[in-house]
Amino acid sequence: MNNHTMESGKNKPSCKSGHSALVQIGEPPAYWKSPDELHHGPRITGEFPGGLPSISSESKTTRRDFLALMGFSLAAAGLSGCRAPVQNAIPLLVGSDQIIPGVANFYATTCQGCASSCSLLVKQRDGRPIKIEGNAESTLFGGGTCATGQATILSLYDNERLRGPLWQGEPAAWEDIDKHVVESLTAARNDSLAVVLLSRTITSPSTREIIAQWGKQFPNFHHVTYDPISYSALRAAHAKSFGQAAIPHYSFDKARVIVGLEADFLGTWLSPVEFARQYASNRKPEGTPALHIQFESGMSVTGSNADVRVPVAPSQLGAVAVALLRRIAQKAGNAGTPQGEDPIETKRLDAVADELWKHRGESLIVSGSNDVSVQIVVNALNSFLGNISKTVDLVHPSLQRTGDDAALADLVKEMNDGKVHTLVLYGVNPAYDYPSSDEFLNGLKKVSLSVSFADRRDETSSQVSAVCPDHHFLEAWGDAEPVESHFSLAQPLIAPLFETRAAQESLLRWAGEEKPSYYNYLRDYWQKNMFARQKEVQDFTAFWERSLQDGVVILPSREIAKLAAFHGNWKAAAQTILQESKQAQSAADKYELHFYESVALRDGSQANNPWLQELPDPISKVTWGNYAAVAPALATRLGISNGDVLRLNTSNGKVEIPAFIQPGQDGRTISIALGQGRTQVGKAGKNVGTNVFPLTAMRDGQRRYSATNVSIEKTGRQESLASTQTHFSMEGRPIVLEMSLEELQKGESEKGETLPTLWADRPHGEHAWGMAIDMNACTGCSACVVACQAENNVPVVGKDQIERIRIMHWIRIDRYYSGPEENPVTLHQPMLCQHCQDAPCETVCPVLATTTSSEGLNQQVYNRCIGTRYCANNCPYKVRRFNWYNYTENDAFDYNMANPVGRLVLNPDVAVRSRGVMEKCSLCVQRIQLAKNTALQGKRELADGDIQTACQQSCPTQAIVFGDLKDPESRVSKLRHSQRQYQVLEDLGTRPNVDYLKKVRKATQI
Amino acid sequence: MRFQLVLLLVLGVALAGGFGALQMSRIGVHQGYSPDQPIAFPHKVHAGDNKIPCLYCHYAARTSRHAGIPPASVCMNCHTLLEKQTVEIEKLKEAVQQERPIQWVKIHNLPDFVYFNHSQHVQSGVACQRCHGEVEKMTKVEQFAPLTMGWCLQCHREHAEIPTGEFQRAAMSLKQKQKAVAGTDCASCHY
């Protein structure tokens, strides 16, 4: 039996002995960060393990040149320093009681980073949105967000957005474009030619209504919806199982047992913010945490959090579902499941089935497969377990993905047959993400008029007749209905930056309205539909204003549709799956491919966002690009090492991509992230990584995100992967601690004795700020990393600098493995400045640029820092960051800070650091100061919860708590006395103000 | 003779060095800076003779880090009713009519690495004149204080006495306590 939980417990001195035992260097560490560390132990051979990229030796600067330049710049600085430049202050001409310069306003809106449509509260300073936060009023999503959502604010200020509309690739006036489009549409109407609107999932009911109305004027109109990451099979399976083509609304918080089949529901699948929130609330070790079993081929965020994770090849995942169904059906008294071999050990499957059966009606099985048969089998499982209407809600379905793969395939065929006259592209980029993009582009040439609402020249919009750029969602009105009867409104945070026009207004304009206003339409639509459905508020204006202010509205459900009982042909589906999985068992030198959405880039639409490109993948910690994840055993067998470029041949084409050795990867499967390899998107995202969308082929009318019969060749080339993984090795010391559920329940805890300190006590102020991070709740989703970057003006440094270990993130998430590398246990640990009371950085600073404040903050004073970097060397947590360059003015760093549009995202309350100074987490001191000031203005005391740091605010699972340690009633004080509390490296005597709560492992029989 | 020469040289170097250091320490200090403004607005007439409270025009100082220069619409609150006309008032009215914001010259400039919040000081009862001088007597405003860190800290140190004992703290009224909290931590202003 492969019980990793128990195994890792055995060889883990760190856990058993708490802080007191250090793992000896050379002894195999219980936790390891990379396969190299597992096999060879922590390396202390050099300052930079693996070396650094070579610095050009061709520099011709001599000592004499240096001195001359130095002298000149000193003189220049001296001369210019004598007279300060004249600064102007330009007040508004007409004042507003709502806009006070320097005071932030918050407005509720809805995220459009993906179709999950999370409710947001966006911070606006001096008329520009600068920070995205989740809307705590939302019962679905809470106050959390995801990394992609956090980063959408930077996409607003993307310098490569179109400044205005284009006609045949040339800038044109809106009137001219409207004239061309209307002429062409009139011809289509008069001659009954086909007009097609191709969109991504639209969760906005009013926009769907506009499209439907708009289409009515044409005798031959279709609206085709597709999603590059398709959920089409899930809908189709529900149509076949329950007579309703819908995606159910899942409740992970009501399930005692969760089984995931390649569904990364904590990272990317369907509605990750909502699911992560539900999941965390259901996995609190102080209660009875739910059991989570994950079957998957590549290591995902979800898999890394599971109690039991089983690596399975994609072709065998269906067989796992059938094997479970066979057992459950038998228990439920339904005979006749087709027989087949168990893809994994029979005993384990028995144990999973037993757990599920034990928790009938409170279990949940989800699958990320886009195969209708697999989804029918999953539906049968949930149905036999009595989960329908309990953890699987079909009465209030999710409307977050409504794409239909077959419809797009049909459309492309029609286009190639010359049957489509007008094609309107809304939020889609098929030339990039459709598998047969050539076919699509050929078809596009035969379309008489093609219009795109894209915000930039991308792979598709550079080939169309007219580009009519839509607003960014932060500039636009809108609404959304992510889950039936759960509405979320969207309002503009800023006037459009460029000459863009809402897509809805473009459609209304082309329907003949002279001065279309989507705002008026939206308001009318809400009056007719939403207002009419509620009885609470009698006056529409009051209803509208309240809805706009709250952002979220939950209306009484539409008529409760009578839900049909499960009637899917599960036996036939199981038979199909078994046949397919048997066929897939191929020759020894053939492998399988698995394509997944990465947490940062998702489907690639935000590929030009440097924050997302630089966000380390939660599992591999690789930035700037994708890679082929190869299991360690397979890598050894084929002689592959990190960065070797592999050529992967599939029946749908081949791809060349660097390899990355990924522990936990299924032995016969290679996983590659989608969403990279954009060729036309902008400076930051262009040609980063490799596009693997062409390898996702259609089968039985659905797009498949896996491939079988793949051969691997080594090209002999090397490509570097900018990974943050081997930086900051903890050298085998007990940084991450965990305990078993039994220990917790028995009340055992291993607290180290209070160590004597050599330092005199300092004077203390009113407060003592502290933080507690629950490693049991942290899923590794990395929303906090981007939130911190946005809040604290953290610069982007690019791939080359990351290879030189110069990433600037103030908070990082360290990922540790323990146990065997074929399937390790994973742990995520957010690491930021620990705000030590006896800080090692402080004692080595020659100029007192870093000191501890009276409120316990380790403060870094930029204007005093001279850049000796002693502090960074002396920091045991390796959280200090040095500004090697002036990232705002150096041409080599052409990211958001280097252009006037991108700079609009900067937080005016936080200094932009200059070259040569050290920086690090300040515990969001600007937020602390603001909250103090707000309390002062309100003539009241600060209350617990008044201050939320940016990382804490963004966390969907509320893993981070900030507060005053002096207040015994504050949440953070109470957590300090938790049985799970410990401090990282407490034996060093640094006395951090940041506490961690141990990860709790649940022993299972699976 | 030789000794005297050396002494003279040493003295000269010391003097020059001292003078240089003094000059260096004055870099970026603009005490007395009094630039011409696009409209020669006399604070003396408004805040002095007519006793308009500072916070009537600089209302943002109550709630914001910026005291704010009033929008022209605030000027027009009175000037639509007042009959008096001068060349300067004409300039104001013209700007309003032409919808052209007025480009005032900023007098008090702090470096980017300093965070200063007006509202915090106004709420704590610091008089405007404490830092800005007797503006109500100035026809043309000039920078009154050096605005150096040492100058800020002088005041902060005077008001930084927070009693450490629980009992004394509890005995203080909320208002007193808030008045007293003038931080001398680096991170009170530098972040």
Question: Residue B186: which of A859, A929, A933 has the nearest Cβ?
Answer: A859
Of all residues in chain B, the percent with pLDDT exceeding 90 is 57
Confirm whether B119 is domain-assigned.
yes
- How many domains is chain A built from? 5
Confirm whether A57 is domain-assigned.
no
- What is the pLDDT, as a whole number, of residue A28? 42
> Does pLDDT of A743 surpass 90?
no
Using alpha carbons only, how large is chain B's radius of gyration in Å?
23
Task: With both helix axes pointing from N to C terminus, report the angle between A518-528 and A503-510 in degrees, rounded to the nearest 10.
Answer: 90
The CATH number of the domain holding residue A300 is 3.40.228.10
Asked if B101 and B117 sit in the same domain, the reply is yes
Confirm whether A577 is domain-assigned.
no
Comparing A440 with A64, the larger pLDDT belongs to A440
Assigned token pair, A804: 């030189």
Asked if A179 and A147 sit in the same domain, the reply is no
Confirm whether A350 is domain-assigned.
yes
Asked if A776 and A912 sit in the same domain, the reply is yes
Contact A93 B95 (CB under 8 A): yes
Of all residues in chain A, the percent with pLDDT exceeding 90 is 77
| Selected residues 30-89 of chain A with any CB under 8 Å from a CB in chain B | 81-82, 84, 86-89
Confirm whether B83 is domain-assigned.
yes
pLDDT tens-digit profile of B107-121?
A: 999 988 999 999 989
Torsion of CA A721, A724, A728, A732, to 10 degrees: -80
Asked if B117 and B158 sit in the same domain, the reply is no
Name residue A595's beta-bridge partners: A672
- Provide the pLDDT confidence category of residue B158 given band limits of 50, 70 and 90: confident
Confirm whether B19 is domain-assigned.
no
Contact A100 B35 (CB under 8 A): no
pTM: 0.91
Asked if B39 and B128 sit in the same domain, the reply is yes
Look-up of token digits 């003592």: A768
Kindly state the average pLDDT of the residues A733-749: 83
Asked if B168 and B140 sit in the same domain, the reply is no
Asked if B94 and B152 sit in the same domain, the reply is no
Question: Residue A863: which of B74, B113, B184 has the nearest Cβ?
Answer: B113
- How many domains is chain B built from? 2
Chain B residues within 8 A of A100 when measuring between CB atoms: 59-60, 63-64, 68
> Does pLDDT of B178 surpass 80?
no
Asked if A836 and A944 sit in the same domain, the reply is yes
Confirm whether B77 is domain-assigned.
yes
Contact A899, A889 (CB under 8 A): no
Asked if B110 and B164 sit in the same domain, the reply is no
Range of weakest confidence among A71-85, A317-331, A340-354, A434-448 = A71-85
Confirm whether A240 is domain-assigned.
no
- What is the pLDDT, as a whole number, of residue A423? 96
| Selected residues 830-889 of chain A with any CB under 8 Å from a CB in chain B | 851, 853-855, 857, 859, 861-864
Give CA separation, A918 vs A316, A865, A869, in Å.
Answer: 51, 7, 7
pLDDT tens-digit profile of A500-519?
A: 999 999 999 999 999 999 99
- What is the pLDDT, as a whole number, of residue A48? 59
pLDDT tens-digit profile of B6-50?
A: 888 888 888 887 777 777 777 778 889 999 999 999 999 999 999
> Does pLDDT of A234 surpass 60?
yes
CA B1 to chain A, closest CA, distance in angstroms equals 37
Confirm whether A603 is domain-assigned.
yes
Of all residues in chain A, the percent with pLDDT exceeding 70 is 91
Write out the residue range of the structural domain in which residue A480 sits. Answer: 166-229+403-554
Confirm whether B4 is domain-assigned.
no
The residues, ordered by sequence, that sit 6+ positions from A607 with a Cβ below 8 Å of its Cβ are A601, A613, A675, A676, A678, A681, A682, A684, A685, A688
Task: With both helix axes pointing from N to C terminus, report the angle between A205-216 and A518-528 in degrees, rounded to the nearest 10.
Answer: 100
- What is the pLDDT, as a whole number, of residue B140? 93
> Does pLDDT of A96 surpass 80?
yes
- What is the pLDDT, as a whole number, of residue A7? 35
Assigned token pair, A684: 């930051």
- What is the pLDDT, as a whole number, of residue B162? 52
Distance CA A415, CA A423 (A): 9
Asked if B55 and B117 sit in the same domain, the reply is yes
Residue of B nearest to A929 (CA): B188
> Does pLDDT of A947 surpass 60?
yes
Kindly state the average pLDDT of the residues A468-473: 96
Range of weakest confidence among A41-50, A181-190, A710-719, A745-754 = A41-50
User: What does the mean pLDDT of chain B come to?
Assistant: 85
> Does pLDDT of A398 surpass 90?
yes
Determine how many CB atoms are found less than 10 A away from the CB of residue A743.
Answer: 18
- What is the pLDDT, as a whole number, of residue A46? 56
Look-up of token digits 């401090």: A983
Asked if A410 and A386 sit in the same domain, the reply is no
Confirm whether B91 is domain-assigned.
yes
Asked if A292 and A407 sit in the same domain, the reply is no
Asked if A986 and A837 sit in the same domain, the reply is yes
Question: Residue A100: which of B60, B105, B120 has the nearest Cβ?
Answer: B60
Asked if B88 and B137 sit in the same domain, the reply is yes
ipTM: 0.86
Confirm whether A83 is domain-assigned.
no
Asked if B121 and B175 sit in the same domain, the reply is no
Assigned token pair, A721: 């992967």
CA A90 to chain B, closest CA, distance in angstroms equals 5
Contact B105 A941 (CB under 8 A): no
| Selected residues 312-351 of chain A with any CB under 8 Å from a CB in chain B | none
DSSP class of residue A707? E
Nearest residue to A415 (alpha-carbon basis) of A198, A262, A211: A198
- What is the pLDDT, as a whole number, of residue A81? 52
Assigned token pair, A165: 């509309």
B183 touches A: beta carbon within 8 Å: yes
- What is the pLDDT, as a whole number, of residue A732? 67
Chain B residues within 8 A of A910 when measuring between CB atoms: 191
Kindly state the average pLDDT of the residues A556-581: 87
Question: Residue A95: which of B73, B106, B188 has the nearest Cβ?
Answer: B73
Asked if B97 and B172 sit in the same domain, the reply is no
Give CA separation, A251 vs A117, A257, A468, B37, B67, in Å.
Answer: 17, 12, 40, 64, 50
Question: Residue B185: which of A90, A853, A939 has the nearest Cβ?
Answer: A853
Contact B109 A81 (CB under 8 A): no
A926 touches B: beta carbon within 8 Å: yes
Contact B190 A862 (CB under 8 A): yes
Comparing A5 with A338, the larger pLDDT belongs to A338
Name residue A718's beta-bridge partners: A644
Confirm whether B161 is domain-assigned.
yes
Final residue in a domain of this structure, among A534, A554, A574? A554
Kindly state the average pLDDT of the residues A172-177: 96
Kindly state the average pLDDT of the residues A276-295: 94
Among A80, A87, A921, the residue to mutate for chain B (most B Cβ within 10 A)? A87
Length of chain A counted residue by residue: 1006
Asked if A548 and A615 sit in the same domain, the reply is no
Asked if B69 and B163 sit in the same domain, the reply is no
Asked if A543 and A613 sit in the same domain, the reply is no
Asked if A351 and A325 sit in the same domain, the reply is yes
Asked if B137 and B93 sit in the same domain, the reply is yes
Question: Residue A91: which of B101, B111, B183 has the nearest Cβ?
Answer: B101
Write out the residue range of the structural domain in which residue B152 sits. Answer: 148-185
Chain B residues within 8 A of A941 when measuring between CB atoms: 174
- What is the pLDDT, as a whole number, of residue A809? 96
- What is the pLDDT, as a whole number, of residue A1? 36
Distance CA B66, CA B62 (A): 9
Asked if A412 and A327 sit in the same domain, the reply is no
Kindly state the average pLDDT of the residues A781-791: 96
Confirm whether A910 is domain-assigned.
yes
The residues, ordered by sequence, that sit 6+ positions from A513 with a Cβ below 8 Å of its Cβ are none
Question: Residue B115: which of A88, A764, A909 has the nearest Cβ?
Answer: A909
The CATH number of the domain holding residue A801 is 3.30.70.20
pLDDT tens-digit profile of A593-619?
A: 999 999 999 999 999 999 999 999 999
User: What does the mean pLDDT of chain A come to?
Assistant: 90
Determine how many CB atoms are found less than 10 A away from the CB of residue B13.
Answer: 10
Name residue A121's beta-bridge partners: A108, A133
Kindly state the average pLDDT of the residues A652-677: 95
Kindly state the average pLDDT of the residues A966-991: 93
